[in-house]
Structure 1
Amino acid sequence: MSKTEGLSRRGFLAGASALPLAGTAFAQAPFPTRPISLIVPFAAGGSTDIVARLVGQKMGELLGQSIVIDNRAGAGGNIGSTAVARATPDGYTLLLGTISTHALNPAILKTVTFDAVKDFTPISLLAVVPNVMVVHPSFPAKTVPEVLKLLKDNPGKYSYASSGVGTPLHLSGELFKSLGGVSMNHVPYRGAGPALNDVVSGAVPIMFDNLPSSAQFIRSGQLRAIGVTTKERVSSFPDLPTIAEGGLAGYETYTWNALFGPANMPRPVVDKINTAANDSLKDANVKQRLEDVSAVIVGSTPEALGEHVKAELAKWAPIAKASGAVVE
């Protein structure tokens, strides 16, 4: 080998050694370097959208990049969830998932377009939102025992409204019927808003609703609250008993909001998003505003959210099956 050839070979090797391996370069690449899309699989204005915008804004500040809220409503959250399941797993497309997208839809959708466990990377369980049983002020019963007695004495006479077949609000009513051994007619609507309007007007006497939606009507006296659906009482209505303590042992329903990404996201990216999400929940302004809408702040590890989804699937599948709810 000539002297010139040796120098050329040594120069090439030196240059090559200075270049990082492709995998190392990817692992060490800064994140994020551009805006992140947070898909909310429901219309703007609902409790899921509220949580997404509150937490997303603060996360964007902490990450140094904007988090753009993308409302993709339809099919009970299935359209937006499917979009995230099929997205590139680089951390730039996230989902604000709920009990509907990751526990109820797999049990009630006739055609399932994603696997709630295998097709997503869990990041953090953000908050739990309680539901509440409300009635029109003219409704004769004022407590859980009185409601149960009235329904048992008048089977099939009374109806309850919900935001649609197979929604958490529908299944809250079905669980009440099942545990209480009572009969009510289900009146499904295209969303919680129209259903709530008809209960406020007296067209339908009963509804199970997200507490944030009903709170103003309860405070103004336009609706009477019978009980919250969570295991514990809520800070925004401390004098309102839970349905379980009101006489229906074992009753518990709720809505939750959690952050997911597509499956197989790099762990360093997951950890960075998780830290930003959980730190956002500790911000004084975010905490106060979430508490104002009766959301119970959680914040979790990715592993804890993964186990939560599995437990929710196991809990709700038999309830959904018993309700007979099937969505095309």
Structure 2
Amino acid sequence: MFQQSLPTPCLRRAGVALLLAAASVAARAEYPDKPITMMLSFPPAGATDILARAIGQKMSETLRQSVVIENKPGAGGNIGLIAAAKAAPDGYTTYMAAVTNAAIAAAAYPPQSAHLQKDFVAVAGVAIVPHMLVVPAALPAQNVTQLVALLKSQPGKHNFASQGPGTLSHLESEVFKSTTGVQMTHIPYKGSSQALPDLMSGSSSMMFDSIPASMPHVKAGKLRVLAVASSKRLAMLPDVPTIAESGVNFSADNFFALMVPRGTPPQAIATLNRAVRAAVESPDLKQRLLDQGVELRYTPGEDFAKVVDEEFRTWGKVVQQAKVRLE
């Protein structure tokens, strides 16, 4: 009669190893199995926040997990950048990077404990969100030429608002000043939502601000748009000239990307990339954000790394030429 022998210790160990390996593979395959945090360096209601929430909601449908937005504003974007860089590189912390802003902050501030190029990997480029030059509706200037003439006629008597020290909003005005020779005082805020009420009241005479934040006030007749800072005119504002067309020689397309801390597993990056692409290429989301001044544009992570390098080179030079130095 055949009698089955008991497994040897060696066979038992091999069986345990196989089970552990299978469990490990299953665990990796289940990513993500909990909510994902998307950090950003600006407060609620601004362009970065609007973009992050719209994309995050679409990503959650693909990932079947919540995408939780965490706002960490301040220090020209460095507070959020540092917090995201210090997060565990496990795929559960992402960063909605305002790339152009990060390039400016890296050049304008002393070296920080985190750097977008060194400490992050791009999942994908997601959008460009150009700024526009807006003034209070009560200001008599109807175009950039008239604005410059007004400011030059009253040197030092006007203020300009910004989203904060070292932000793109701030540096655009510094370049405007240095290019046109006007004298103005900088009034920094923590994001558009805090700056716009004072701008509309007339306590500041101009601001470079994101279209999603300012456009409702333009439509309400409380602000006037004089130019867009993008390299070409925008489809939603075809009659508004670029700042370069208006005689001030610079442009800023304002690139955004979803990034993760360096060291994040490739499998997690690939999963996030698929979710980002599905969100960015969603026709309804593209149209909804385009109506707010946000152009969704998917770029693979490896290709977007070149965009990051170019932005850091370009704005490093601009910061140096404008002699902007922040503490």
Q: Tell me if both proteins adopt one fold, taking TM over 0.5 as the criterion.
A: yes
**Corresponding position of 2:271:** 272
Q: Describe the SS at the equivalent of 2:116.
A: coil
**Corresponding position of 1:304:** 303
Alignment partner of 1:231 is 2:219? no
The one-letter code of the counterpart of 1:232 is: K
Alignment partner of 1:318 is 2:317? yes
Q: Distance in 1 between matches of 2:10 and 2:199?
A: 81
Q: Distance in 2 between matches of 1:160 and 1:68?
A: 34
Q: Distance in 1 between matches of 2:268 and 2:75?
A: 30
**Corresponding position of 2:220:** 220
Alignment partner of 1:134 is 2:107? no
Q: Describe the SS at the equivalent of 1:298.
A: strand
Cα drift, residue 118 of structure 1: 1.6
**Gap change, CA 1:24 and 1:167, over 3 Å in 2:** same
**Corresponding position of 2:49:** 49
Q: Distance in 2 between matches of 1:102 and 1:48?
A: 13
Q: How does 1:135-214 map to 2 (within 5 A)?
A: 135-214=135-214
Q: Distance in 1 between matches of 2:241 and 2:127?
A: 21
**Corresponding position of 2:31:** 31
Q: Distance in 1 between matches of 2:155 and 2:115?
A: 39
Q: Describe the SS at the equivalent of 2:122.
A: strand
**Corresponding position of 2:98:** 98
Moved more, 63-72 or 222-231: 63-72
**Contact in 2 for aligned 1:166/1:320 (Cα 8 Å):** no
**Contact in 1 for aligned 2:100/2:311 (Cα 8 Å):** no
The one-letter code of the counterpart of 1:37 is: T
Cα drift, residue 304 of structure 1: 2.2
Moved more, 134-143 or 278-287: 134-143
The one-letter code of the counterpart of 2:291 is: D
Query: Residues 274-294 of structure 1, C-alpha deviation per residue, up to 9 Å, x if partnerless?
Result: 111111112233223211210
Cα drift, residue 262 of structure 1: 0.8
Q: Distance in 2 between matches of 1:277 and 1:47?
A: 18
The one-letter code of the counterpart of 2:164 is: G
Cα drift, residue 25 of structure 1: 3.4
Q: Describe the SS at the equivalent of 1:161.
A: strand
Alignment partner of 1:256 is 2:255? yes
**Contact in 1 for aligned 2:73/2:190 (Cα 8 Å):** no
Q: Describe the SS at the equivalent of 2:131.
A: strand
**Contact in 2 for aligned 1:78/1:105 (Cα 8 Å):** yes
Moved more, 271-280 or 37-46: 37-46
Cα drift, residue 208 of structure 1: 1.4
**Gap change, CA 1:89 and 1:194, over 3 Å in 2:** closer
The one-letter code of the counterpart of 1:54 is: A
Percent pairwise identity: 36
Cα drift, residue 227 of structure 1: 0.6
Q: Distance in 2 between matches of 1:327 and 1:25?
A: 48
Q: Distance in 2 between matches of 1:199 and 1:10?
A: 76
Q: Distance in 2 between matches of 1:287 and 1:13?
A: 54
Q: Describe the SS at the equivalent of 1:286.
A: helix
Q: Describe the SS at the equivalent of 2:299.
A: coil
The one-letter code of the counterpart of 1:239 is: D
Q: Distance in 2 between matches of 1:24 and 1:242?
A: 54
Query: Residues 194-243 of structure 1, C-alpha deviation per residue, up to 9 Å, x if partnerless?
Result: 33222211222222111212112222222221111101222222221111
The one-letter code of the counterpart of 1:316 is: W
Q: Distance in 1 between matches of 2:242 and 2:322?
A: 23
**Runs of 5+ unmatched residues, structure 1:** none
Q: Describe the SS at the equivalent of 2:245.
A: coil
How many residues end up aligned between the 2 structures? Answer: 324
Cα drift, residue 109 of structure 1: 2.6
Moved more, 126-135 or 193-202: 193-202
**Corresponding position of 1:245:** 245
**Gap change, CA 1:175 and 1:5, over 3 Å in 2:** same
The one-letter code of the counterpart of 2:296 is: I
CA root-mean-square deviation: 2.8
The one-letter code of the counterpart of 1:211 is: I
Q: Distance in 1 between matches of 2:273 and 2:267?
A: 10
Q: Describe the SS at the equivalent of 1:117.
A: helix
Q: Distance in 1 between matches of 2:74 and 2:87?
A: 18
The one-letter code of the counterpart of 1:243 is: I
**Contact in 2 for aligned 1:52/1:69 (Cα 8 Å):** yes
With structure 2 as the length reference, what TM-score do the two structures score? Answer: 0.88
**Gap change, CA 1:187 and 1:15, over 3 Å in 2:** closer
Cα drift, residue 111 of structure 1: 5.0
Q: Distance in 1 between matches of 2:64 and 2:140?
A: 55
Cα drift, residue 186 of structure 1: 2.4
The one-letter code of the counterpart of 1:222 is: K
Cα drift, residue 101 of structure 1: 5.8
